[in-house]
A and B are shown apart, each in its own frame.
Chain A
Amino acid sequence: MKSNLNDDELRKVLQTWKVDPKIPRNFARDVWERIATREAALARSRWWVTLKELVEPVGGARLALSAATIGLVLGGFTGAMEAQQQNSQIQKQLATKYVRSVDPYQQVSSF
């Protein structure tokens, strides 16, 4: 854009130009709050994206089926281990009972 003003005139005009910006109250705080909210949302969305990337290709039904299979295997294994411990304890108790049934001194001491 061409202007008819020369440099001196332009400088004078510029010197008379006063800007009086009205900054809203709590401007800085609002800005920081918006930044924090956006960062939190971004972090959350990243987590979700990763999760979706993991879940979506497998499919919901397959995921549930896999979880059930893993649950069955882990539960069965843990149950078998627990049963083994219980059986071992019962065996010891029965062996103790047998020895006591043969030894009269133990029977007397248990009266």
Chain B
Amino acid sequence: MSALSIRTNRLAPSKVQRWLLVAILTGFGAALGAFFVCEYAATRQMRSMMTASDGELLWLRREFNLTDAQYNRIKLLHEKYSAQCDLMCQRIAEVNARLDALISANHEVTPALASTINEASRVQEDCRRAMLGHIYEVGAIMTPSSGARYVDMMKATIIQPGLPSKTVVSQ
């Protein structure tokens, strides 16, 4: 008798159980689907910018709300400056290599070493001047407030060339 009463107390798997399972699976599926759809849709634009060859300029356009005309002018300037920048890179690499060799070869500041140090400083001056010129030109194409923000963002690069970009950007 007691065994029978115990058996009747237990609830067999019922509709409630089935619907609960359906609800859990539906909720989980919907959540998963919504997560991936939202994430994909919301990051699509940025991901395409990341893979584009001129992604950094597209970022600049977005960040400083550039119009098509402003963007095209800045793009032209950037292309022109890139050629100049390559030459500066070459000069920096050459003077650095010479300086490296002279520092290793000498145990005191020889005239040749002093001259190379001066040349490295001149190269840095030229680079700074060219960079600042380019930054001012780009800033001038933007609206005054965007231009000021742009120059402010790039300031650290002029003050300390070669400073890690992350530091510059976070400022």
Which A residues are closer than 8 A to B by beta carbons? 34, 37-38, 41-42, 44-45, 48, 51-52, 55-56, 60-61, 63-76, 78-80, 82-84, 86-87, 90-109, 111
Partner of A44, one of B10, B36, B154: B10
What band does the interface of chain B fall in when counting residues whose beta carbon is under 8 Å from A? Answer: 35 or more
26 A-B Cβ contacts within 8 A? A38-B6, A42-B9, A60-B15, A63-B20, A64-B27, A67-B23, A67-B30, A75-B34, A76-B35, A78-B31, A79-B35, A79-B42, A80-B39, A90-B47, A95-B165, A97-B56, A98-B60, A102-B81, A102-B154, A103-B157, A104-B127, A104-B131, A105-B161, A106-B161, A107-B85, A108-B162
Q: How far is the CB of A45 from chain B (nearest CB, A)?
A: 5
Residues on B with C-beta less than 8 A from A91 are 46, 59, 63
Residues on B with C-beta less than 8 A from A79 are 34-39, 42
* Bound-state Cα–Cα, A98 to B165, Å: 9
